[in-house]
Structure 1
């Protein structure tokens, strides 16, 4: 099937085995796809003000992110719902070329509506690339390396939260936002042509290739509504949009449970099934983690921290994720199960600890004053990274043979949904708590207290779920 069959699947293999001569090409291809999706999300957020100043379209500002996220979810779904007989390598080629085409449209866009078309195309291609990374794991690597590969992809997302804004800032500082898209075009073309040589041509082993159109429509509508909710200021409208989005997801779940044509792997919408609890744990952990988007604001408003320093401090969340991912990469069996439970507890406790550590009006002028909040931010990401790869590996490992593509694609989809719902929910909380009215220090204090109190609650659900996840050897 591929050259990886000649590699001994030893339990002692480390993450660095992924970069051995025989695995390096595929690792670069799959890791590169995840990198494009992750980094591009943050680069565009950073250069967006420069884009608006150049071509206008301030009223459509939020749609640059909204369309990218929604299209990315659709792209990850496409990996599992692709036409019958279409192999994963062919999907990779299409995904890379689609991403490149979207980047080119963005680079030459004369107006905001044209740029939004490019962002949607770009998001669709990058969503496929991200989903393909998990779909290819079982074909590229021996099973003992699945966890290491998942660790690598998790680490990429952590690094992207630092690398993306940094690169975006460089382009924005020079007024070169178009160049930020231009450089992606040849890169995407190279990836597309390299795929035919560096990725195995695996057979399409799906049994049911019918498209669950209704579930896809409901899910995409839910993503759009919740993404829009995260971009408007009125708290009442936010709440309504989130409620509508939640209702659409509930409707999708009900249809999924009764339909013969499924979007998700078998058991994913039945809480009594282990795979459903794994996905729900991923969703809740991402939802809680997204509360970090307001940390820079609170640092600047409540503690007098400069924008530059606050940006680097919030990057500690990403550093924690990446550090924990590599720290726990060698865990197996009971160790892995404990890592998942410990990670959920750490993330929840760290989020709640920001109430006394961050929701105060004390200026941070000395290291001792920074330290508690810094440790809490690091542990938020550390908790997620500690169990993430093991959650992913368990999903791939227990999914039915005919559902393995669906199971892999749903990982990226669930991650995006958790982030989208988390951002929207956080927006509702802080605006309802007075972030803008009365605003200032009083509003910031109220918003911070309510945000980290309420956003820690889903973490309790993640903890409960984590205790039900059995070791892989059980």
Structure 2
């Protein structure tokens, strides 16, 4: 047991136990890494228009997100596939320096191509930092605090959904997009410098194996293709890209199942194994949640809500996630299992209910219709937050020490995959359902109804999987 673990007393554990004197340094370091990834994901999306207005490159606009997401997935994978003998603390230092270098490249970029290079470097380091938050859990916290750490990370992502665009808006208003990158450089340097003293040195207990290059290449191709599908305008191109991406994933899973050189933990691609069902639930929950990206548009078009207000209303999804994460943080055993099931049901039902409450012509913003829609938005996030930390704890608790890094890295990878697939599918659905043609009120109503009807279906998969989980695996 490490010196950090020894600081835990016999008092009932809560999320605030993570900030006790003995655990505070590690919590700040690991939580800080997740903060950088989460907030940066949203800041750049907000300042991107300012970047292209200043240095040009509108044709490459979508690549700023595409490269960041793809590099983030590769970064999270690299935590588990790093060369043998390199400890997690060394990886953390490298990740912080890489993230800082990516921000510096973006800040001094004279043309959009250099910004894109910086975004790739930045995303790689951010993906590593996010995966390291989960990889370090078993080394810095005793098992009774694993859920609490996962709760904290979930809350960070919820807060970042609001904080990121807000900070990005401040930098955009003053055309200070370079400063938005440069302010993170010294912070990343400080984190790299502090890691040697604030994070424990742990041995590399992974099994010796070769890097599964083929699986990594197929997964990376799937993410890139799916991200591109979400940004291309032509419907036929979207469908082709999504189809090829899905083939890449299926091929990767088939190779993974037969290969002795695995990217994922043992049993992760076999639906009969609990860990496989856990990852599938994470994937589908994130897919469903990404349907919220069109909520501001539908609020403005169908309900007459002002743009600023619609932005605050959709932030209720993040607020629901955060509040539910803290509410369920103390659950364990059977209560944790119930929280997962209820959470899946809530997210699915809330998403489907938007067919009735959001897909309506309500130009005057009648609260009788708008009120239930707002509640449904909150419950979408609440459902995910209710069970997410428990899913993470189950994943970490199911695998042996030699595969912990794989299991932890896969959490971030699956989360990114769910978001990429979900955002691309939402674009295909709304455009196929008439958002642009015929457009207007009829097109928006049709698009909203089809979107929330179809995007609730993956939630049913999550519900079915949740019913198969046993409390004993908590």
Same fold per superposition (TM over 0.5) = yes
Shift, 1:473, TM fit: 5.7
Instruction: State the match for 1:383 in structure 2.
Output: 383
1:401-443: CA deviations, max 9, x gaps? 2111100110011000000000001010011111111212121
Q: Distance in 2 between matches of 1:340 and 1:10?
A: 27
* Kept after mapping to 2: 8 A contact 1:11/1:144: no
Instruction: State the match for 1:20 in structure 2.
Output: 20
Instruction: State the match for 1:399 in structure 2.
Output: 399
Shift, 1:6, TM fit: 1.3
Instruction: State the match for 2:281 in structure 1.
Output: 281
Q: Work out whether 1:224 is the aligned partner of 2:224.
A: yes
Q: Distance in 1 between matches of 2:314 and 2:38?
A: 17
Query: 1:232-247 to 2 correspondence within 5 Å?
Result: 232-247=232-247
Instruction: State the match for 1:129 in structure 2.
Output: 129
What is the Cα-based RMSD across aligned positions, in Å?
A: 1.1
Question: Which range moves more in the overlay, 203-212 or 186-195?
Answer: 203-212
Instruction: State the match for 1:32 in structure 2.
Output: 32
Q: Work out whether 1:62 is the aligned partner of 2:26.
A: no
Instruction: State the match for 1:253 in structure 2.
Output: 253
Distance 1:10 1:293, change over 3 A: farther
Query: 1:40-439 to 2 correspondence within 5 Å?
Result: 40-439=40-439
* Kept after mapping to 1: 8 A contact 2:80/2:405: yes
Q: Distance in 1 between matches of 2:457 and 2:119?
A: 34
Q: Distance in 2 between matches of 1:238 and 1:469?
A: 35
Q: Distance in 2 between matches of 1:236 and 1:331?
A: 47
Shift, 1:461, TM fit: 0.5
Q: Distance in 1 between matches of 2:209 and 2:197?
A: 27
Q: Distance in 2 between matches of 1:310 and 1:87?
A: 45
1:342-397: CA deviations, max 9, x gaps? 00000000000000100011125354442101100000000000000000000000
Q: Distance in 1 between matches of 2:364 and 2:341?
A: 33
Q: Distance in 2 between matches of 1:439 and 1:40?
A: 33
Q: Distance in 1 between matches of 2:273 and 2:10?
A: 30
Q: Distance in 2 between matches of 1:274 and 1:234?
A: 39
The number of residues matched between the two structures is 474
TM-score after normalising by structure 2: 0.99
Shift, 1:10, TM fit: 4.4
1:13-32: CA deviations, max 9, x gaps? 00000000110110010000
Q: Distance in 1 between matches of 2:42 and 2:204?
A: 34
Shift, 1:272, TM fit: 0.4
* Kept after mapping to 2: 8 A contact 1:205/1:402: yes
Shift, 1:303, TM fit: 1.0
Distance 1:212 1:356, change over 3 A: same
* Kept after mapping to 1: 8 A contact 2:344/2:462: yes
Shift, 1:239, TM fit: 1.1
